[in-house]
Amino acid sequence: MIEVKQYTQKQAQEWNDFIEQSRQGTFLFNRSYMDYHADRFQDASLMIYRKEQLYALLPANRLGDTLYSHQGLTYGGLITKKQATTAEICEVFIRINEYLYHSGVQRVIYKPTPWIYHCYPAEEDLYALTYICHAQLTARDISSTIPLDSLMTFGKDRRRGVRKATRAGVTVRESQDLATFWDILDKNLTNKYAIHPVHSLEELTLLHSRFPNSIRLFMAYNDKGIAIGGTIIYEMPQVVHTQYISASPEGKRLGAIDLLFDYILNDVYANHKGFFDFGKSTEEEGKILNTTLIFQKEGFGGRGVCYDCYTWETRSVIE
């Protein structure tokens, strides 16, 4: 009844149509997003059919004898519709492991979609990971998230930043100037960590052109109209997610980020349902907590949601 097949580019429309109807689907799983970095990863995504009807998807890539879900995405896991049941999902994982085992995959590293992204409860995969795959939790990052219908009052440091920025004449508005923001971001990351953003400016521009209604940029400007900070927002059905946040030295001094999120949370998304997610504040697969970063996010009212990673051996399911 259940058949597992390797995804091919010919099935892109079938894949995308399923994502639109799924419980966990976001535009990150759309092939026009996933495939922008196809040259970096060996795609090994799976399409699972039940009674010859597409039943589930697994965005994935392969590196050697390991399957990842997916190294180019923050989260992934099995994608399903409302109709999927626990017993059926357990059977799906048995069949996936059989398929992978006979394909030479020995290990699976699996990042389930966090519950805040679910349009309908969808944690059957977590049950199957434990009792079918005998998976172990191998990494846990923590993000800071706000229910948009229950905003907390900003902490005193964030309120002070808002007042400072307001007095300095800082203004905030939506922008299309990705190049200016990327330059601020790149200088920040280079000076502090000696690294560059995950996305190049060319990649961000490409993705924005493909998803103009889902990828938005908000910028803060000083009283002379010069950009001093901003954030790139990924807007999804259940979650508004900050993909990047950065400010110039002047922006940091003037509290630009505080005013920026005061505007975004209290004006732009004032009537939005779901969650506002600031993203992870951990490094080295959760082993190190960036206390300065999470302090800032928690000052806006963000509280903990975990992004987990599980690992198992396909042999443990087959034998």
Phi, psi angles (nearest 5°) of residue 216:
-125, 150
pLDDT above 90 (res 66): yes
Instruction: Note whether residue 287 is domain-resident.
Output: no
Q: How many domains does the chain have?
A: 2
Interval 167-219: pLDDT, tens? 999 999 999 999 999 999 999 999 888 889 989 999 999 999 999 999 999 99
Give the C-alpha separation, 268 to 234, whole Å.
13
Instruction: Provide the residue count of the chain.
Output: 319
Residue 23 domain-assigned (yes or no): yes
173 shares a domain with 119:
no
Counting DSSP H helices and E strands in the chain, the numbers are: 11, 17
> Residue 314 in contact with residue 104, Cβ under 8 Å?
no
Together in a domain, 134 and 168 = no
Extended strands (E) in 164-314: 171-175, 215-221, 227-235, 239-247, 275-280, 282-283, 288-289, 303-313
Does residue 237 sit within a domain? yes
CATH number of 241's domain: 3.40.630.30
The pLDDT value recorded for residue 317 is 84
Contact 164, 254 (CB under 8 A): yes
> What pLDDT sits at residue 188?
92
Cα–Cα distance between 18 and 7 in angstroms, integer?
13
| pLDDT, position 316 | 83
Q: What's the pLDDT at 37?
A: 83
3-state secondary structure of 308: strand
Decide if 292 is inside a domain.
no
Domain assignment present for 170: yes
* Whether residue 68 sits in one domain with residue 24: yes
What number of CA atoms fall less than 13 Å from residue 211's CA on the CB side? 22
Structural domain contains residue 31:
yes
Quick one: pLDDT at residue 22?
Answer: 98
Instruction: Provide mean pLDDT across the span 252-281.
Output: 96
Q: 68 lies in which domain range?
A: 2-140+308-318
Share of the chain above pLDDT 70, in %: 100
Question: Does residue 319 surpass a pLDDT of 90?
Answer: no
| Domain co-membership, 154 together with 136 | no
Angle of helix 86-102 relative to helix 124-131, nearest 10 degrees, comes to: 50
Tokens of residue 140, six digits: 């846990």
Closest among 246, 242, 262 to 187, alpha carbons compared: 246
β-partners of residue 215 are 234
Examine the domain organization and report whether 154 and 85 are in the same domain.
no
**Domain annotation covers residue 57:** yes
Residues 32 and 130 in one domain: yes
Question: Are residue 120 and residue 226 in the same domain, yes or no?
Answer: no
127 and 110, same structural domain? yes
> Is there a single domain that holds both residue 13 and residue 105?
yes
Distance between CA atoms of residues 116 and 277, nearest Å = 9
Residues 88-108 have a mean pLDDT of 97
- Taking the C-alpha atoms of residue 82 and residue 141, their distance in angstroms, rounded to an integer, is 27
Q: Mark whether 136 and 6 lie in a shared domain.
A: yes
For residue 228, pLDDT beyond 80: yes
Q: What is the pLDDT of residue 39?
A: 86
Does residue 238 register a pLDDT over 80?
yes
Say how far apart CA 57 and CA 19 lie, in whole Å: 8
Tell me the C-alpha distance between 241 and 238, whole Å.
10
Nearest Cα neighbor of 45 from 26, 82, 73 is 73
Identify whether 110 is part of a domain. Answer: yes
Determine contact, residues 144/302, Cβ cutoff 8 Å: yes
Minimum mean pLDDT range among 20-24, 185-189, 191-195, 255-259: 191-195
Kindly state whether residues 127 and 196 are assigned to the same domain: no
